[in-house]
Structure 1
């Protein structure tokens, strides 16, 4: 009879799993965050395009997001259904007051994550790229901690 191969410590399950409810809530929170990521990115981009060029056309949105025109149209439709945007034929996309508020919150969260990453030594260009993913998954509790950390170090 042969002996089983030695166990790889990295493959072993954790000694204690979190309570089912706790673990389920963590996964639910992650799913909710993933569902809102795209809409947040589109709303922020629409706001940026309006602020810099006076309008946000679906073609420009598609190009800047690196997606097809049809994909951008579908995302815009989701933003409209959520009450974040409106559009007029041949005039582009506009944000509602709720959409503008969301864009401002997303932008502030992005800046805070970038500032934290730079404060811990991440080069600014890398911090900007990394913040695009992190900003959507960080909790309000973590954001508050980031703010306190940056305030203590004077930045």
Structure 2
């Protein structure tokens, strides 16, 4: 995303992604919920929320709820999709579940749209070819076992 939209930092993307996630059920999120989910102090969350509001991605009034604006919803959905594609790709190449979130966070802010599209194409290919998916999983597991022996 950063490459397509220079105005958003990685941290801004993380906040917007989390606001999108948390507001899916109710349509809004409270500041303390956001700060808890991101493991940051409320004053830090307030500053970032104000920046996102200045960019018209969210709506926020002091001591009120946070809601996504139209462009924030669109971008939030794209951020979630990007996150999920990267996570699915890492699972497909047998990255351990305990490492997937951290690795996804490292990749998602620097990946180009073209590379993300390639990741998605690879995942779709595997899903349309379950026999190849099983062969890849078996191969990756055998590679892991042989590297553990060394």
The interval holding the TM-score normalised by the smaller chain is 0.7 to 0.9
Q: Residues of 1 paired with 2:62 and 2:40: CA distance?
A: 21
Gaps (5+ residues) in structure 1? 1-28
Q: Give 1:72-91 correspondences, 5 Å limit.
A: 72-91=45-64
Q: Secondary structure at the match of 2:67?
A: strand
More off after superposition, 94-103 vs 49-58 = 49-58
Deviation, 1:141, is 1.1
Out of 110, 127, 150, which is 1:154 matched to?
127
Match of 1:62 in 2: 35
Q: How does 1:1-155 map to 2 (within 5 A)?
A: 36-154=9-127
The aligned length equals 126
| Deviation of the 1:33 alpha carbon | 6.8
Note the aligned Cα RMSD (angstroms): 2.2
Per-residue CA deviations over 1:39-67 (Å, capped at 9, x if unaligned) read 11111111222223453111111111111
TM-score (norm 1): 0.72
Change (3 A) 1:34 1:124: farther
Deviation at 1:123, TM superposition (A): 1.9
TM-score computed with the length of structure 2 as normaliser: 0.74
Which residue of the partner structure matches residue 12 of structure 1?
none
Q: Hey, what's the Cα distance between the residues in 1 that align with 2:114 and 2:120?
A: 10
Larger-gyration structure (1/2): 1
Residue pair 1:55, 1:92 contacting (<8 A) in 2 also: yes
Q: Which runs of 5+ in 2 are unaligned?
A: 129-150
Corresponding residue of 1:16: none
1:70-98 Cα deviation digits (max 9, x unpaired) = 10000001100111011235431111000
Give the whole-Å Cα distance in 2 for the aligned partners of 1:66 and 1:34.
24
Distance 2:92 2:46 in 1: 38
CA distance in 2, matches of 1:35, 1:102: 11
